[in-house]
Structure 1
Amino acid sequence: MHKRYLQILVIEDQEADRFMIDRALRRNGLQEEIQFAFSGEEAIAYFEGQGKYADRTLYPFPTIVLTDLKMPHGDGFSVLEYLKSKPESKIIPVLVLSASADRDDVKRSYAMGASCYLRKPADIEELGRILKLFYDFWMECEIPVIDTAGKQVQTSSQGKLGERFGPVE
């Protein structure tokens, strides 16, 4: 197993939930800095590098996103819609972490491109268990390599599909 660097952006409007998420990830081995946005609107400003987020050394483009659904000023659905509509960000795994058990929310999240939908428990120990699974899983997964500005890093085989498989006869 090789360790990789995860740049996590958590989009959550509730301060207590942000604290619990940060604490649960730290308890389970995350050493990288976690960035937080407090609404969908702020998250989109982060993705676009607007205002204070223009400094990509302080606010690098995330390699993975955790978002709540129900937030004022741009909900999690607006985040999914934005990310999945842009070629440079549609490759980023987006995990919905929501207290909502509404089946329509789950269905809509997946239909809009969410990588998974996790129910947010009220208990910090249970949240810790869920986020440990999340962290361990994504540390093992291969995810697209992007630079700090969110641009996909060119690979040696990119654009060579026909060369790798040869002509179809």
Structure 2
Amino acid sequence: MNGHDILLVEDNLDDVELTRLAFAEAGEPHRLHVVSDGAEAVDYLLARGRHADRDGADLPALVLLDLNLPRLDGHEVLQAIRADETTRCLPVVVLTTSIEPSDVDRAYVLGANSYIQKPVEFDRFVEVVRQVGRYWLGINLPPRRC
């Protein structure tokens, strides 16, 4: 499997490191770009603010989005992603600790492609990362344009 760019939107440094380790352990050669708050995630994807020098057409193949974020929460980020023409079809997997039915329902209403509760055990987390990478970056066929 060729490496893809993945945007990880996560403010917990331990979870960032766990995700990096899980991708490495899973043998997935993807490039993980990390932003630590919701506003920065939107700026990154829309190539503005601190990320204005980034090519806005060069989008990640996948966004892994936590819900509990500073500045803009994950739901607000998801809403911004779906509202912009350039990012509307970007695959977004919510990867969060919350299993609150209202969080799950709201994420899907706002356009999440998948909702996964972060496993607590490292081995299970590695397996989830392996499956997410395999499906979204290997099996799933993205739209040619949206």
Partner of 1:82: 80
Q: Which runs of 5+ in 1 are unaligned?
A: 146-151, 154-169
Aligned mates of 1:79, 1:49 — CA distance in 2: 14
Structure 1 residue 142 displacement after superposition: 0.8
Aligned mates of 1:134, 1:32 — CA distance in 2: 12
SS for the counterpart of 1:87 is coil
Counterpart of 1:64 (choices 47, 51, 62) is 62
Matched letter for residue 11 of structure 2: D
Structure 1 residue 107 displacement after superposition: 0.5
Aligned mates of 1:97, 1:86 — CA distance in 2: 22
Structure 1 residue 5 displacement after superposition: 4.3
Q: Which runs of 5+ in 2 are unaligned?
A: none
* 1:44 aligns to 2:37 (yes or no): no
Partner of 1:23: 21
Structure 1 residue 20 displacement after superposition: 0.5
Matched letter for residue 18 of structure 2: M
Amino-acid identity (%) = 29
Residues 78-106 of structure 1: per-residue CA shift (max 9 Å, x gap): 11000000121111010000100100100
Runs of 4+ in 1 over 6 A off after TM superposition: none
> Contact between 1:96 and 1:118, CA under 8 Å: does it hold in 2?
yes
SS for the counterpart of 2:104 is helix
* 1:143 aligns to 2:142 (yes or no): yes
Partner of 1:113: 111
Structure 1 residue 28 displacement after superposition: 1.3
Counterpart of 2:9 (choices 4, 11, 19) is 11
Aligned mates of 1:53, 1:34 — CA distance in 2: 16
SS for the counterpart of 2:69 is coil
> Contact between 1:9 and 1:62, CA under 8 Å: does it hold in 2?
yes
Counterpart of 2:102 (choices 101, 104, 111) is 104
Residues 92-128 of structure 1: per-residue CA shift (max 9 Å, x gap): 0100001001001000000100000000122211111
Aligned mates of 1:62, 1:54 — CA distance in 2: 16
Aligned mates of 1:84, 1:40 — CA distance in 2: 14
SS for the counterpart of 2:95 is strand
Structure 1 residue 7 displacement after superposition: 1.4
